[in-house]
Amino acid sequence: MNSAVILQIQSAIILLLMHIGVYIILKKKNRLLHAKCMGIAIAWDIILILQIELTRGAIAKAIKVPTNPIILNIHVGMALTCVLLYFVMIYSGRKILKGDKQLLKLHRFSGALALTLRTLVFFTSFMVVS
Ligand code: HEM
């Protein structure tokens, strides 16, 4: 199995974990399990980015924005936005767990955005492999 396939399989599992964490676990109102599941998915996603950097020098390729195909720039932009949103999710999620409901709106909105973007990152990743 080549490294691209191993990376795609990990990416698919992470995406599945995120959808299970939101659509299945939250439906059962298990907030703590939701937090744990999302925490694992986020940590694994950041480790996945490190693996992509180490095995394929992703940053050196990604920064050639003017000469890169537009789909690669879109893919990288969405992936970076996701990572930024992860910090918002962890911050707001921890506050909500402690009982502060003020950030619930932000958590919902950025959660929906993060999940949509992460799903698009997965599908566009098949268009940018070289
Ligand atoms: C990408 C990561 C995440 C996504 C996409 C996400 C998404 C969501 C969504 C859509 C809700 C439902 C809000 C509602 O309509 O009731 C929610 C609730 C919640 N999330 Fe997250 N979440 C993420 C990460 C986290 C993390 C890391 C934590 C904790 C450290 C956390 C803690 C919570 C809690 C406690 C609730 C329940 C709020 C309530 O209804 O009282 N989430 N999340």
Residues with CB under 6 A from ligand 1: 18, 22, 26, 31, 34-35, 38-39, 42, 86, 89-90, 93-94, 96-97, 104, 107-108, 111, 114-115
Domain boundaries, the chain: 3-128
pLDDT in tens, 99-109: 999 999 999 99
pLDDT in tens, 31-63: 999 999 999 999 999 999 999 999 999 999 999
Residue nearest to atom 37 of ligand 1 (CA): 31
- Ligand 1 pocket check: which of 89, 94, 104, 110 to mutate, most ligand atoms within 8 Å of Cβ? 89
Residue 115, pLDDT score: 98
Is-contact 111 7, C-beta < 8 A? no
pLDDT in tens, 88-125: 999 999 999 999 999 999 999 999 999 999 999 999 99
